[in-house]
Amino acid sequence: MSGLVLTTTSALGASVLAAGPVQAAAPQRATLAAAPAATVTTKTVTAKQARIAKQKKRAAYAVRYAAKQIGDRYRYGGTGPGSWDCSGLAGGSWRKAGVKLPRTTQQIYKAVHKKVSWKGAVKGDLLFFYGGRTHMGVYAGHGYMIHAPSSGKRVKKIKLNGYYKRNFHGAVRPGI
């Protein structure tokens, strides 16, 4: 008999394929070696940890959505797409991330219960400015904010400088 026979040998998760000539031989009995036991790791996640992970995912989405609006024009009362006011941009970004917020800056600040400090702000937090909390933006991380500034301007990402720190009047973390 002529031809090739393919033989596969597996051990410790690796396989070797070998080819050789067909030989007439007495039937052989196959023996199976026990495979090494697989290691299974189980991680227990608390409800709080799950909420935080979900909030972080939504925050990242809200920031990405806000960033896609950079260059859109400002329009008082604008809720997008294409034109925004500050609370319309912030609320619209979080709405796209699955969190419904009220319409105005003051309503949003009152409705979101998790308040954060200037130094405690993380990506996705909403920052509020001026005494009556009349302006807001989406914190983009690393000292930057995305906002719809004012009439005649466009949505932009800015570095938070001393002016904004002096006029800071609170921040909230939606989605918790």
Active-site residues, by number, are 86, 135, 147
Tell me the two tokens of residue 113.
Answer: 């219960």
Contacts of 149 (CB under 8 A, 6+ apart): 74, 86, 155, 156
Position of tokens 């992970």? 53
Q: Are 112 and 38 in contact (CB under 8 A)?
A: no
Contacts of 79 (CB under 8 A, 6+ apart): 85, 88, 91, 92, 103
Report H helices in the chain.
47-68, 86-96, 105-111, 162-166
φ/ψ of 129, rounded to 5, equals -135, 155
